């Protein structure tokens, strides 16, 4: 099935949840012995950027009618003084991903990037740190981003900058695989990258999910996306 234009289409959250399951079903039977795959969540703390209008709820804490206690006074030792203001500014975002482990160690991760991962500067920074941490810990990574917005930003380009890798611009939509390799003579470790440009209206490719140096499994994005789109009634 050709990739939908996700700059115009709604309903991504439903497709994301179904696609993750379809990808898990594809990956599990193809894993070598001792490798295990599962869907998990690694919460990311999303904080509204100061330069933007944050999603904030503010609640003033006023005394209840008939309450003559001074503000902040305690009637019992277990009472908590009322705050002057209660503000909701932090959102715990439990983004789900596929994790592959071997002998209790994280070997690889597959992440489907959502619009909220990159719609604000704070979110881009938090998720970039998350993706970078996989590689820094020696875990391989497959990133799939079918959302072209915001224009001019790409996690692939941001990762390349952080890793000091020279590469041509790699805008979304994309599917990039990262394999962490052996130690490099000059320090650090080798990182191999497979870049796959995606386009609305075109079929999705089969991409590698690295598990170790010289070991990977092919992930059929086209077939798994087709099933997810059908279950989400996008066909």
The per-residue pLDDT for range 177-195, each reduced to its tens digit, is 999 999 888 888 899 999 9
Q: At a CB cut-off of 8 Å and minimum separation 6, what does 181 contact?
A: 189, 190, 191, 192, 213
Q: 154 to each of 86, 150, 160, how far by Cα in Å?
A: 35, 8, 10
Q: What 8-state DSSP symbol labels residue 192?
A: E
pLDDT digits (tens, 9 = 90+) for 71-87: 444 444 456 777 777 66
Q: How much is the pLDDT for 126?
A: 92
Q: Tell me: the pLDDT tens digits for 221-234?
A: 999 999 999 998 88
pTM: 0.80
Residue 186, pLDDT score:
82
Does the pLDDT at position 102 exceed 70?
Answer: yes
For the chain, give every domain's residue range.
12-53+94-231
- Which residues in 11-32 are b (16+ Cβ under 10 Å) and which e? ebeebbebbbbbbbebbeeebe
What is residue 44's predicted lDDT score, i.e. its pLDDT? 45
Rounded-to-integer distance, Cα 183 and Cα 186, Å: 9
Determine the Cα–Cα distance for residues 217 and 207; give it in Å rounded to an integer.
8
φ, ψ of residue 200 in degrees (nearest 5): -60, 135
């Amino acid at each position: 099935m050709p990739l939908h234009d996700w700059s115009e289409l709604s309903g991504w959250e439903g497709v994301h949840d179904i696609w993750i399951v379809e990808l898990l079903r594809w990956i599990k039977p193809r894993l070598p012995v001792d490798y295990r795959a599962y869907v998990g969540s690694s919460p990311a703390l999303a904080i509204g950027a100061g330069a933007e209008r944050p999603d904030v709820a503010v609640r003033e804490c006023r005394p209840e009618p008939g309450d003559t206690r001074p503000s902040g006074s305690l009637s019992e030792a277990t009472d908590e003084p009322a705050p002057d203001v209660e503000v909701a500014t932090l959102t715990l975002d439990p983004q789900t991903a596929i994790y592959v482990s071997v002998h209790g160690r994280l070997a690889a991760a597959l992440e489907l990037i959502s619009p909220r991962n990159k719609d604000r500067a704070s979110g881009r920074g938090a998720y970039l740190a998350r993706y970078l941490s996989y590689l820094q810990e020696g875990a391989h990574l497959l990133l799939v981003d079918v959302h072209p917005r915001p224009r001019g930003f790409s996690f692939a380009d941001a990762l390349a900058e952080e890793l000091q890798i020279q590469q041509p611009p790699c805008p979304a939509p994309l599917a990039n695989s990262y394999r962490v390799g052996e130690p490099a003579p000059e320090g650090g470790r080798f990182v191999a990258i497979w870049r796959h440009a995606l386009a609305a209206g075109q079929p999705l490719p089969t991409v590698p999910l690295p598990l170790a140096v010289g070991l990977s499994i092919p992930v059929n994005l086209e077939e798994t996306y087709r099933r997810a789109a059908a279950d989400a009634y996008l066909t």
